[in-house]
Amino acid sequence: MCGIAGWVDWRRDLTQSGPVVERMTKTLVPRGPDAQESWISPHAALGHSRLAVIDLDGGRQPMVRTDRAGGQVALTFSGEIYNFRELRAELSTLGWTFRTRSDTEVLLTAYLEWGTDFTHRLNGMYAFAVWDERARRLVLVRDRFGVKPLYYARTGDGVVFASEPKALLAHPEISAELDAEGVAELMAVPRARTPGHGTFRGIHEVRPGHLLVATDNGVRESAYWRLEARPHTDDFTTTTATVRSLLEDIVDHQVVADVPVGTLLSGGIDSSAVTALAARALGGGLTSFAVNPPAAGGPGSDTWRPSSDGPFAALVASSLGIGHVVSDIDVDTLVERFDAGLQARDLPGWGDLDTTMYLLFQTIRRHCTVALSGEAADEMFGGYLWQLDPGYVSHPSFPWMYGRRQPEILLREDVRQLIDPARYEADRYHQALAEVPRLASEDPERQHEREVFHLGLTRWLPALMDRQDRLSMAVGLEVRVPFADHRLAEYLFNVPMRLKRHAGTPKAVLREASRGLLPDEVVDRPKSAYPASRNDIYVARMRELVMDLLADPHAPVFDLVDRERVRTAVTARLGDLPGPITAVTPAISLSYLLELNRWFEQYDVRLAL
């Protein structure tokens, strides 16, 4: 897994830049607590903070290898290449030898053999940098769904890059500034952040499925992978069989590790299917994990959670004969750690949804170094309300924004006029639609299905991937995401909704593909969302903290949002207070304001409007 950082400059001598790169790498120690190392040449300095998962002794980084002519190439890599064994065998037939068992060495050798075309051969979750001494070229690559983060910024004649913004901000030439576009990303489209936008001024993300090539002639970013629209001719039975076969192969590859592996298990179909396949692949010894936040009433009192997770998760664990550990969280802990997400994400987050996930990952890390997650199944198989309900689907913007107000309604009027939130959202929506592959022969309804699917994979899913990566890596836990496999996406992008909702059942393909692996009660269980705290005591305590914030005349957040608008919402209409996500709860909305203020304070953010 790990964290990466680096600095290249084509005009400057970087041989004395060790302290800078070490400072950048040090910020990533939670991502890679096992070792921090660097490699420096005249025009490149690479850093690596390692979480040892495969080839514990041999996979040290940054890794350097020479080509057949003696030219050097260096690599710093975060993630996993799941098909590294197959690639290693192919490279061996081409005359390459290996001194380690690591996927890192395979990745580096693949670049030496195939150049940047090697990206098409990779199956995994990854973010990495290659410094090619022969061509004085930097190559940055990010996996197809953005499971692993990768940020960069320009510095005069150079480029700095890192797994997280905090590492870039440790570079002396990068500062924490928020311009008008950054404000719009935080307040107008917080749930559908624009791919490539790093929120901080001058900081960018390498987009999922893209590679960036930087030379002394400039920086060029291009896509190496996109979904393609094709006719789907398989019937329901064939479709489910194909999905089952794909999932078995995916999980077989993703349980490979030289450290203990566990799973996240809520008792829903997504995590349960992954857990069942992992248990079969490992042949026993698996432990699953779940979280239990403070309750907000009895089962069914929350429309987003029509049933409690506990009994279903226990049923799955019992049926598979595996261990199951539940992380119980109380109100005091939620309040004390309300900004855990901020420390991990470098941006204001999702309140208690972040806190409970962070605490769950802490529990898992005491048992395992790797965990498999059911994330991305809803996006792939059509499990969300905004993919199914006609009101959401027909909304003339991002479907998850239907009937929702965004935090931009709290902005000061001068800031609102500057960013024009409605125009910003519309522009980003049409930009997203322009990327959707289509078949001219399909009717408008089917084309719109493709649009909704594509929006989910390119705008909704990246936010979930970012949250999961940053919170897990903050405790040195590697979380793998079997449903975020490009082969599965390529197949399901072309499966029409009438099959995904076969016989009127949401996620019918996944349910049928899982039948026989799990008890029927779990296969047929309706969706129950990740638990957001609606506990009255927790909400009241978060409201008290916001009231204290309103009383602080120097609170920096009020340079951005209107104090009286916030006061009115918090004192008179708390339920109307907007939050950063679809499943709005008062606690998450309150937390967002508190985290915005902490963010300005702790990151010394300067408004540059």
Using CA atoms, how far apart are residues 238 and 246, in angstroms rounded to an integer?
12
Contact by Cβ (8 Å): 258, 231: no
pLDDT score at 10:
96
How do residues 402-411 score in pLDDT, each as one tens digit? 988 899 999 9
pLDDT of residue 602: 97
Which string of b and e fits 33-72 if b means at least 16 CB within 10 Å?
A: bbebbbbbbebbbbbbbbbbbbeeeebbbbbebeeeeeee
Q: Which domains does the chain have, with CATH numbers?
A: 3-223 (3.60.20.10), 236-523 (3.40.50.620)
For the entire predicted model, the pTM comes to 0.96
> How open is the CA angle 368-165-457, to the nearest 5 degrees?
70
Percent of the chain with pLDDT over 90: 90
Residue appearing with tokens 């349910």: 511
Average pLDDT over residues 421-440: 97
Q: How many CB atoms lie under 10 A from the CB of residue 332?
A: 12
Please provide residue 549's backbone torsions phi and psi, each rounded to the nearest 5 degrees: -60, -40
Q: What percent of the chain has pLDDT over 70?
A: 98
Contact 52, 35 (CB under 8 A): yes
pLDDT at 299: 46
Would you please indicate which residues are annotated as catalytic (active-site) residues? 2
Report CA dihedral (581, 203, 21, 118) to the nearest 10 degrees.
90
Q: Write out the two tokens for 335.
A: 């309040």
CA 570 to each of CA 236, 331, 334, 411: distance values in angstroms, whole numbers, following the listed order: 50, 20, 20, 15
pLDDT at position 301, please? 46
pLDDT at 1: 66
Are β-strands 606-607 and 287-292 bridged in parallel, bridged antiparallel, or unpaired? unpaired
Give the pLDDT of residue 561. Answer: 98
In the numeric block, which tokens belong to residue 418?
């500057």
Per-residue pLDDT at 532: 82
Q: Quick one: DSSP state of residue 75? A: E
Burial class (CB in 10 A: 0-12, 13-18, 19+), 191: middle
Give the separation between CA 45 and CA 337, rounded to whole angstroms.
36
Q: Is a pLDDT exceeding 80 seen at residue 584?
A: no
Q: How many residues can be counted in the chain?
A: 609
Angle at 120 between CA 119 and CA 124, to 5 degrees: 70
Q: What are phi and psi of 507, to 5 degrees?
A: 60, 35
Mean pLDDT of 484-490: 98
Residues 270/483, Cβ–Cβ less than 8 Å: yes
> Strand 63-66's sheet: what is its strand order?
63-66, 72-81, 124-132, 137-142, 210-215, 218-223
Distance between CA atoms of 529 and 420, rounded to whole angstroms? 33
Give the pair of three-digit tokens for residue 19: 């302290």
Q: Which amino acid is at 425?
A: E
The DSSP line for 119-147 is GGG--EEEEEEEEETTTTEEEEEE-TT-S
| pLDDT value for 109 | 97
User: pLDDT band at residue 605, thresholds of 50, 70 and 90?
Assistant: very high
490: its two tokens: 């390529």
Strands (E), 303-342: 323-328
Residue 77 sits at φ, ψ, to 5 deg, of: -140, 135
Average pLDDT over all residues of the chain: 95
CB 200 within 8 A of CB 176: yes
Question: Crossing angle, helix 180-187 and helix 421-433, to 10 degrees?
Answer: 80
Phi, psi angles (nearest 5°) of residue 478: -95, 120
Residue type, 209: G
Q: Is 145 in contact with 461 (CB distance < 8 Å)?
A: yes
β-pairing, 72-81 vs 63-66, is antiparallel
Are 204 and 467 spatial neighbours (Cβ–Cβ below 8 Å)?
Answer: no
pLDDT score of 300: 45
Torsion of CA 472, 473, 474, 475, to 10 degrees: 70
Residue 485 near residue 250 (C-beta atoms within 8 A): yes
462: preceding bond cis by omega (within 30 degrees): no
402 vs 386: CA distance, rounded Å = 8
| Pure H helices in 366-505 | 377-381, 385-388, 390-393, 413-419, 421-433, 444-455, 461-473, 486-492, 497-500
- Cβ–Cβ under 8 Å, residues 177 and 202: yes
Judged by DSSP in three states, 461 sits in helix
What pLDDT is recorded for position 303?
Answer: 59
User: And the tokens for 235?
Assistant: 């019937």
What are the φ and ψ backbone dihedral angles of 387, each rounded to 5 degrees?
-95, -15
pLDDT at 468: 97
Q: How far apart are CA 74 and CA 64, in angstroms?
A: 4
| The pLDDT value given to residue 298 | 47
What pLDDT digit, counting tens, does each position of 270-323 carry?
A: 999 999 999 999 997 899 999 999 876 544 445 566 788 999 999 999 999 999
- Is residue 267 scored above 50 in pLDDT? yes
Closest CA to 30 of 543, 476, 472: 476
Contact 228, 454 (CB under 8 A): no
Spell out the SS3 assignment of 218-274.
EEEEEECCCCCCCCCCCCHHHHHHHHHHHHHHHHHHHCCCCCCEEEECCCCHHHHHH
- Cα separations in angstroms, 247 against 28, 238, 286, 481, 484: 32, 14, 18, 11, 11
